[in-house]
Amino acid sequence: MTEQLSNNPLLKPVEELVPYEAIKAEHIVPAIEFLLKDAKELIEQLITLERPTWDNFIEPMEYGTGRLWRAWNVVNHLNNVQNTEAVRAAYNTLLPQVSELSTWLGLNKELFNQYQTLHDSEAFQALNKTRQRIITEALKDFELSGVSLEGEAKKRYAEISEQLAMTGQQFALNALDATDKWTYHTEDADEVAGIPEQVLAAANELAEGKGWTFTLKMPSYLPVMQYAKNQALRQRMYQGYATIASEQGDKQFDNSENIEILLKLRTELAELLGFKDFATMQLEKRMADSPMQVIDFIRDLAARAKPFAEKDMAELTRFAQEELGMSSLEPWDLAYVSELLREKKYAYSDEEVKQYLPEDQVLSGFFEIIEQLFNVKFEAIEAETWHQDAKVFALKEGDKLLGHLYTDLHARSGKQSGAWVANERTRHLHRGELITPVVYLTCNFTPPQGDKAGLLRLDDVVTLFHEMGHALHALLSKVDEPSASPFASVEWDAIELPSQFMENFCYEWPVMQKLSRHQENGESLPRELFDKIVAAKNFQTGMQTVRQLEFALFDMLLHQQLKEQTIEDVLKLLDEVRQEVAVVIPPSWHRFPHNFSHIFAGGYSAGYYSYKWAEVLSADAYSYFEENATENLGTINPKAGEHFKNEILAVGGSLPAAEFFEKFRGRAADPSALLRHHGMVDESSEA
């Protein structure tokens, strides 16, 4: 190893924490290229083994290639949260090479034959069920990765795989840059009337003290849409957000061509592998059996939810006309009018609740609840991070270290929008030594101003609980083989189970008592205000449900298309879906697909339905806690938490999702819990 590589922080042993402060952009390419070469050489050695076993074949491969994937996870994370020009350039240089290795692995017949030989051997029968499942699933993955292809088809598969990776990355960069570059500045105090003081202070700081500068980042965008009295300002912000990365916005970031390329390549890839369409291919390893089953599931749920959505919309329109004198209700009015309606119906506002949710108190109570529920302990530790906002926690069970959690909670330039969790390092028992998981939890909340903690919206708190569900899935897994870890092998349409399950605790009184402290007088959230929040929990839940089903149906139908899709075809399909499912029809210039990163730059292509599919599981799982609630703690029942931890979180992907859910619940999932939790039950049927 050269001197340059020997001092490279990305090449630290996988057992150690990453020294983030030491990482410079110039470290990235040499480290990853070295690890790519090292991984390929290892595979070439392993495919020559005469009698592959778990110990001489799979374990060395998992550990050896684990160094590469851990380092690449770090680089990918920096690309998402610290997207400097230098990091972006390094990432874009490496992405084709990483994609090429992944494709080479999937197409490697000698490697496939080693798995098949092991599967057919007597040694396979002696393995535990988890290891048998890993080998069986790997053989399926090889088939889905084109291992049976020959000649030109094999070559074309490799080309498509690289093009898909690069085009998806460009889609994400266009969305990021279009969001970062868009601002609106005003010095007219009348124009910003109604916007909360904290938001105006941040906008004034961005404007360097001269008026106010607003952005499309959520801490700036959402409060304007909810509270700005000036309709023209709301329309300006709405149009900016609705046209991100499209020909209707800054044309240099237009994602139209990227969408067309991605859809064309996905269809071609599916055809190469012998599937009818891309959607069918994607469902090959999911709980759902077919695209039609998913479409029927979405349409059935939409048929049940749409009457409630229409009722929500009628109430909103009536309120706008009768109380606000608005002859018509435009899309940029919805959040504003909804907030006023909620204030009238339930006598509280989001802004009022925010005063009780300073970030430091929320986090303190949040960790306490997790600790009580799952019998674990978070300890803040000193460790190197990529930004001053990032914090590090060791998670322990008694004296035993379970893993590390890195949190990065605030919005800033150069950071992808949204909220997500990702693995840096996966749990692995290697030669008797346990390598514990390391997990990133990333959000985009309002940063603190001065010495005051940032205030969170209730939706932010729900997001935090959601993402922690994902993090706990990785951190509390007891699976010792990386290939059966939660994010590696839990079916995609079940991966949201723990995250959506955790959201429910935000509406429990014992929980809110721990989360809340008024920023001025220090008092906990009053019970009267909490009761209003619970009463309003299902406010406009019909509208919210059909909106998510709109995205899910659009995604699934889009990936069933066989003919080449133009951007006009894509927008036409979305319009048709809206006519069927939606109650809000946006303007013709709205360009939602151009910023739909979930399906064009993330892992949710032909998979957005997973949110609702998994919500059926999560709602029924939470029903178990409701059935076992205690008088003092409500659903924060440690016994129920231990059962959930052992039967859902700890098993990772060692069992099929349907199997581990039935072991937890004692039966298959009951869909009625979802509709009940959302208040979408006819009063007559409740009687």
- E strands, 377-437, in order: 377-381, 391-397, 400-410, 420-425, 428-430, 433-435
Q: What is the residue whose two structure tokens read 């999911």? A: 286
Q: Do 107 and 96 meet the contact criterion of CB atoms below 8 Å apart?
A: no
Instruction: Output helix, strand, coil percentages for the chain, rounded to the nearest 5.
Output: 60, 10, 30
The residues that are catalytic are 467
Give the pair of three-digit tokens for residue 44: 């070439």
Nearest to 269 by CA among 284, 256, 254, 257: 284
Q: What is the sign, positive or negative, of the torsion defined by CA atoms of 381, 385, 389, 395?
A: negative
Q: How big is the chain by its Cα radius of gyration, in Å?
A: 25
Rounded-to-integer distance, Cα 524 and Cα 386, Å: 34
For 334, the enclosing helix (H) or strand (E) is helix 334-346
Type of residue at 359: E
Give the pair of three-digit tokens for residue 154: 């094999």
Give the pair of three-digit tokens for residue 125: 């029968």
Rounded-to-integer distance, Cα 20 and Cα 624, Å: 41
Backbone phi, then psi, for 433, in 5-degree steps? Answer: -105, 130
User: Are β-strands 438-445 and 400-410 bridged in parallel, bridged antiparallel, or unpaired?
Assistant: parallel
Nearest to 555 by CA among 269, 306, 277: 277
Backbone phi, then psi, for 408, in 5-degree steps? Answer: -145, 100
Q: Do 302 and 581 meet the contact criterion of CB atoms below 8 Å apart?
A: yes
Contacts of the segment 585-589: beta carbons below 8 A, 24+ positions apart: 586/242, 586/331, 587/242, 587/331, 589/239, 589/242, 589/243, 589/248
Torsion region of 667: left, alpha or beta (phi above 0 gives left; psi -120 to 50 gives alpha): beta
Rounded-to-integer distance, Cα 291 and Cα 297, Å: 10
Backbone phi, then psi, for 202, in 5-degree steps? Answer: -65, -40
Rounded-to-integer distance, Cα 185 and Cα 518, Å: 32
Give the pair of three-digit tokens for residue 24: 């410079």
Burial of 357 (0-12, 13-18, 19+ CB in 10 A): buried
DSSP code string of 611-675: HHHHHHHHHHHHHHHHHT-BTTTBT--HHHHHHHIIIIITTTTSS-HHHHHHHHHSS---THHHH
Rounded-to-integer distance, Cα 459 and Cα 446, Å: 12
**3-class secondary-structure state, position 377:** strand
Rounded-to-integer distance, Cα 481 and Cα 381, Å: 27
Q: What is the residue whose two structure tokens read 């009337």? A: 193
For 280, the enclosing helix (H) or strand (E) is helix 278-282
For 543, the enclosing helix (H) or strand (E) is helix 541-558
